[in-house]
Amino acid sequence: EKSIAVLPFENFGETKDNEYFADGIQDDILTNLAKIADLKVISRTSVMKYRRATEDLREIGRKLRVTYVLEGSVRRAAGRIRLNAQLIDIDTRTDVHIWAEQYERDLADIFAIQNELAQKIVARLKANLSPSEQAAIVEKPTADLEAYDLYLRGKALMNNLFNSSDPHADLIKARDFFKAATSQDSNFALAYCQIGRASLDLYWWWGYAADDLAQA
């Protein structure tokens, strides 16, 4: 079966504050794979519960009902990124590492790294990849790294609202990050989408403010 779970990537950055970046990379890789109709990709909501899990990969794979698991780590420092990734076949008697890759490049190459990882996984799982799916994987969300960083900060807040002690404040903060991202790159479509999503959430959950609806 062409099924895979992309587990949360470990943050090997200098501070815990970089965890949002590791989560963002994992989320982007998962999203790229989910664009491929021939693959069964487990949702982010389902895999995030296994952050720092003590269970072995076979047990995690059994619970998620997948054949393959991708795990990895990210370290970002001084304009460089080091990303380690391991693809593991858990449908064997002993967990088998199909391949392990290490990328150490300029941060500007982050989208190329994500694309290469997706291509390797597609090839290993022998998934069919249409021309439109290929184009979707290769397409960069933005050429501005600062805009991308702001976007990932906003996404991290959005993804953790249900664990937040003040979800209203975090939702406003997330929208501000997305707005800042579009100020950096006025063509950043994904950031505009998230502004709309955050604004709708604010409208429905907190007070039906006309200003929130106008920004949706």
Query: Residue 139 corresponds to which tokens in the numbers above?
Result: 């397409």
Give me the pLDDT at residue 216, please: 57
Give me the pLDDT at residue 43, please: 94
Same domain, 51 and 131: yes
Q: How many structural domains is the chain composed of?
A: 2
Give me the pLDDT at residue 56, please: 86
Same domain, 88 and 155: no
Same domain, 92 and 196: no
Give me the pLDDT at residue 187, please: 97
User: Three-state DSSP class for 160?
Assistant: coil
Give me the pLDDT at residue 195, please: 95
Domain end point (choices 138, 172, 206)? 138
Same domain, 52 and 151: no
CATH number at residue 57: 3.40.50.10070
Same domain, 128 and 61: yes
Same domain, 22 and 46: yes
Same domain, 80 and 121: yes
Same domain, 164 and 208: yes
Same domain, 108 and 15: yes
| pLDDT digit string (tens) for the chain, length 216 residues | 799 999 999 998 767 778 999 999 999 999 999 999 999 999 999 999 998 888 888 889 889 999 999 999 999 988 899 999 999 988 765 556 678 889 999 999 999 999 999 999 999 999 999 999 999 999 999 999 999 999 999 999 999 998 899 999 999 999 999 999 999 999 999 999 999 999 999 888 887 666 766 665
C-beta separation of 24 from 48 below 8 A: no
Residue positions counted in the chain? 216
Q: How far is CA 76 from the centre of its chain?
A: 16
Give me the pLDDT at residue 17, please: 76
User: Three-state DSSP class for 193?
Assistant: helix
Give me the pLDDT at residue 94, please: 59
Angstrom distance (rounded) from CA 211 to CA 216:
9
Question: How much is the pTM?
Answer: 0.88
Give me the pLDDT at residue 96, please: 66
Query: Residue 107 corresponds to which tokens in the numbers above?
Result: 């941060």
Give the residue numbers spanning the domain of 46: 3-138
